[in-house]
């Protein structure tokens, strides 16, 4: 069996909702049914076969040629794997419950927003509001793992409830803003206002942010007792954070003032 592949016949001129092209919804469908699937393309609906050349028969493993106008890739996905070969648009991995989503390029706004499980890997850069809550909601990412090989935009993990976000590049302003729980690790630079209105959770930073909020208190140097367990959980993810040497790192711990904003913490690798 070969992966079920959707290759764009021509560059997209409008936004395309590809949320129906996930293993959960494709399993058990005949080739004619898949070709006839209705996709929202701009302000009209169009059959998948009019936009894509469709090949392969393994609906548990789906591949889609990428485009910055390819929205909602992997929305609600709960099983199997989905590979976007190139860039993806907004809302990639939205409401995912399980499985594996990999974008070989970059993503737009709200990637992995309100993630409920599974693994999202972005090989390029991620836009603003990665792993955050949708507008008007107060519950962002609640489970799962997000890995970004490049940079991420502003407000990563806004209203994050649980799970882990690992960023190998830089992150923008308001990292972990209004975060309730979970872990965000950033290897590169971090913008201003990290941990704004954070109540619980951990920001693990390899470099100091532009400024530390006045509500965080310096608690001195500590050995990361939890880090070996954290790294064990990431084994097999091929991420730069799974370096055994990290077990011996010491960090400067900045704890949030409970009376002002909560008891989240920022750990700066020493």
**Contact (CB, 8 A) for 101 and 93:** yes
Is 258's pLDDT higher than 80? no
Q: Is the pLDDT of residue 92 over 90?
A: yes
Average pLDDT score over residue span 36-55: 97
Return the higher-pLDDT residue of 210 and 2.
Answer: 2
Q: What is residue 250's predicted lDDT score, i.e. its pLDDT?
A: 76
Residue-wise pLDDT for 58-90, tens only, equals 999 999 999 999 999 999 999 999 999 999 999
pLDDT score at 82: 98
CA dihedral of residues 104, 84, 242, 162 (deg, nearest 10): 130
Confidence of residue 252 (pLDDT cuts 50, 70, 90): confident
Give the residue-averaged pLDDT of 161-187: 95
Residue 261's pLDDT is what? Answer: 59
Question: What residues have CB less than 8 Å from 100, skipping those under 6 apart?
Answer: 80, 81, 82, 118, 119, 121
Question: Do 158 and 132 meet the contact criterion of CB atoms below 8 Å apart?
Answer: yes
Q: What band does 251 get if pLDDT is binned at 50, 70 and 90?
A: confident
**pLDDT tens digit sequence for 135-152:** 999 999 999 999 999 999
> Which of the four pLDDT bands, split at 50, 70 and 90, describes residue 268?
confident
Can you read off the two tokens belonging to residue 252?
């400067």
Report the pLDDT value the prediction gives residue 207, as an integer from 0 to 100. 81
pTM recorded for the entire structure:
0.91
pLDDT (tens digit per residue) in 8-25: 999 999 999 999 999 999
pLDDT value, residue 118: 96
pLDDT value of residue 102: 97
When the pLDDT of each residue in the chain is averaged and rounded to a whole number, the result is 90
Residue 21 buriedness (CB in 10 A; 0-12 / 13-18 / 19+)? buried
State pLDDT tens for residues 195-244.
998 989 999 998 888 888 888 888 888 777 666 666 666 655 655 554 54
What sign does the dihedral 79-90-190-131 (CA atoms) show? negative
User: Would the pLDDT of 30 be above 60?
Assistant: yes
What does the pLDDT read at residue 241?
52
Predicted local distance difference test score (pLDDT) of residue 217: 86
Q: Domain coordinates of the chain in residue numbers? A: 66-269
pLDDT given at position 108: 97
Q: What is the pLDDT of residue 239?
A: 55
Residue 23 phi, psi (nearest 5): -50, -40
Classify 103 as helix, strand or coil: strand
**pLDDT band per the 50, 70, 90 thresholds, residue 263:** confident
Q: CA angle, 190 as apex, 187 and 196 as ends, to 5°?
A: 125
How far apart CA 208 and CA 52 sit, in angstroms, is 46
């Amino acid at each position: 069996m070969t992966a079920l592949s959707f290759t764009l016949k021509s560059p997209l001129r409008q936004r395309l909702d590809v949320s129906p092209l996930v293993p959960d919804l494709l399993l058990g469908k005949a080739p004619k049914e898949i070709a006839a699937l209705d996709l929202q393309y701009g302000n009209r609906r169009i059959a998948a076969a009019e936009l894509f050349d469709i090949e392969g028969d393994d609906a548990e493993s789906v591949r889609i040629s990428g485009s910055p106008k390819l929205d909602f890739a992997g929305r609600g996905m709960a099983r199997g794997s989905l590979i976007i070969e190139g860039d993806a648009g907004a809302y990639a991995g939205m409401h995912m419950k399980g499985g594996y989503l990999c974008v070989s390029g970059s993503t737009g706004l709200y990637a992995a927003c309100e993630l409920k499980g599974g693994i999202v890997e972005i090989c390029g850069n991620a836009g603003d509001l990665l792993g955050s809550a949708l507008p008007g909601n107060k519950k962002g990412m609640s489970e799962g793992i997000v890995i970004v090989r490049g940079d991420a935009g502003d407000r990563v993990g806004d209203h994050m409830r649980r799970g882990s976000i690992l960023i190998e590049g830089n992150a923008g302003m308001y990292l972990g803003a209004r975060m309730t729980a979970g872990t965000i690790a950033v290897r590169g630079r971090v913008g201003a206002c990290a941990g704004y209105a954070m109540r619980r959770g951990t920001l693990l930073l390899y470099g100091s942010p532009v400024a530390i909020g006045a509500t965080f208190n310096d608690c001195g140097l500590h050995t990361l007792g939890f880090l070996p367990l954290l790294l064990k959980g990431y084994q097999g993810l091929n991420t730069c954070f799974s370096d055994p040497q990290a077990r011996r790192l010491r960090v400067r711990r900045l704890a949030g003032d409970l009376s002002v904003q909560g008891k989240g913490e920022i750990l700066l690798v020493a």
